[in-house]
Chains A and B, each alone.
Chain A
Amino acid sequence: MTGPLTLDMVAGKMKEFGNSELVRKNRIRITTTPDKVHDTIKTAQAMLGCDRLITISAVDNTRTLELIYHLTGPHRMVLSIAIELTRDQPAIPTTSDILPPAAIYERQIHDLFGITFTGNTNLNRIMLNEDWPANEFPLRKDWKPGPDTFYGGIKVERT
Chain B
Amino acid sequence: MPEVVVSIGPHHPALKEPVNFKVVIEGEKIVRLELDLSYNHRGVEKAAEQRDFIRVLPLLERVCGICSHAHSTAFAKGIEEIMQLEVPPRAQYIRTIIAELERMHSHLLWLGVAAHVIGFNTLFMWTWRDREAVQDTVEEMSGNRVHYGMNEVGGVRRDLTPAQVTAALERLPNLEERIKKYVDMVNSEETMLIRFRGVGKLSKEEALRYGTVGPTARASGVDYDTRKDDPYLAYADVPWNVVTDTNGDVYGRTRVRIGELWESLKIVRYCLENLPEGPIRVTAPRNAPTGEILSRYEAPRGELAHFIRTNGTDKVERVDIRTPTLANWTSVAICLVNQNLADLPVIVAAIDPCLSCTSRITLLDSQTKKTGVMSFDELIRRNRSRDQGLVRP
Query: A and B from one assembly?
Result: yes
Interface residues of A (CB under 8 A from B): 24, 26-27, 51-55, 57-61, 68, 70, 72, 76, 78, 80, 99-101, 103-105, 108, 125-130, 138-139, 154-159
Given A157-B369, A157-B370, are A104 and B317 also a contact pair (CB < 8 Å)?
no
Question: Are A54 and B305 in contact, with the CB atoms below 8 A?
Answer: yes
Contacts of A127 in B (CB 8 A): 37-38, 41
Question: Are B211 and A159 in contact, with the CB atoms below 8 A?
Answer: no
Question: Are B322 and A105 in contact, with the CB atoms below 8 A?
Answer: yes
User: Could you list 24 examples of A-B contacts with CB < 8 Å?
Assistant: A26-B230, A54-B303, A54-B305, A57-B320, A57-B322, A59-B309, A59-B318, A59-B320, A60-B318, A70-B307, A78-B230, A100-B210, A101-B327, A101-B330, A104-B329, A126-B37, A126-B38, A128-B38, A138-B43, A139-B46, A154-B364, A155-B369, A156-B364, A157-B370
Q: B281-317 toward A: CB 8 Å interface, digit per residue (1/0)?
A: 0000000000001101000000101010100000001
Contacts of B224 in A (CB 8 A): 52, 72
- CA gap between A76 and B318 in the complex, in Å: 25
Among all A-B residue pairs, the 5 with the closest Cβ atoms: A101-B211, A57-B307, A55-B322, A57-B320, A76-B229
Contacts of B229 in A (CB 8 A): 72, 76
Dominant secondary structure of chain B at its interface with chain A: mixed
- CA gap between A24 and B327 in the complex, in Å: 25
Contacts of A126 in B (CB 8 A): 35-38
Contacts of A27 in B (CB 8 A): 294
Contacts of B327 in A (CB 8 A): 55, 101
- CA gap between A55 and B305 in the complex, in Å: 8
Nearest Cβ on chain B to A100's Cβ, whole angstroms: 5
- CA gap between A128 and B322 in the complex, in Å: 16
Chain A residue, CB-CB nearest to B224: A52
Interface flag for B275 (CB, 8 Å):
no
Contacts of A157 in B (CB 8 A): 369-371
A sample of 6 more A-B contacts (CB under 8 A), given A80-B294, A101-B330, is A101-B210, A101-B327, A127-B37, A129-B38, A154-B364, A156-B364
Nearest Cβ on chain A to B254's Cβ, whole angstroms: 24
Contacts of A108 in B (CB 8 A): 326
- CA gap between A128 and B43 in the complex, in Å: 9
Question: Are A52 and B38 in contact, with the CB atoms below 8 A?
Answer: no
Question: Are B372 and A159 in contact, with the CB atoms below 8 A?
Answer: yes
Contacts of B357 in A (CB 8 A): none
- CA gap between A103 and B372 in the complex, in Å: 39
Question: Are A156 and B369 in contact, with the CB atoms below 8 A?
Answer: yes
User: A104's contact among B307, B309, B320, B326, by CB below 8 Å, is which?
Assistant: B326
- CA gap between A96 and B159 in the complex, in Å: 47
Interface flag for B341 (CB, 8 Å):
no
- CA gap between A26 and B210 in the complex, in Å: 23
- CA gap between A57 and B319 in the complex, in Å: 9
User: B46's contact among A24, A72, A138, by CB below 8 Å, is which?
Assistant: A138
Chain B residue, CB-CB nearest to A53: B211
Contacts of A76 in B (CB 8 A): 229-230
- CA gap between A139 and B309 in the complex, in Å: 14
- CA gap between A99 and B307 in the complex, in Å: 20
Q: Which of A27, A55, A80, A125 has the most CB of B within 10 A?
A: A55
- CA gap between A24 and B230 in the complex, in Å: 12
Contacts of A57 in B (CB 8 A): 294, 307, 320, 322
Interface flag for B181 (CB, 8 Å):
no
Contacts of B372 in A (CB 8 A): 159
- CA gap between A76 and B320 in the complex, in Å: 21
Interface flag for B209 (CB, 8 Å):
yes
- CA gap between A159 and B209 in the complex, in Å: 51
- CA gap between A117 and B375 in the complex, in Å: 46
Chain B residue, CB-CB nearest to A152: B38
Nearest Cβ on chain A to B323's Cβ, whole angstroms: 10
Nearest Cβ on chain B to A51's Cβ, whole angstroms: 5
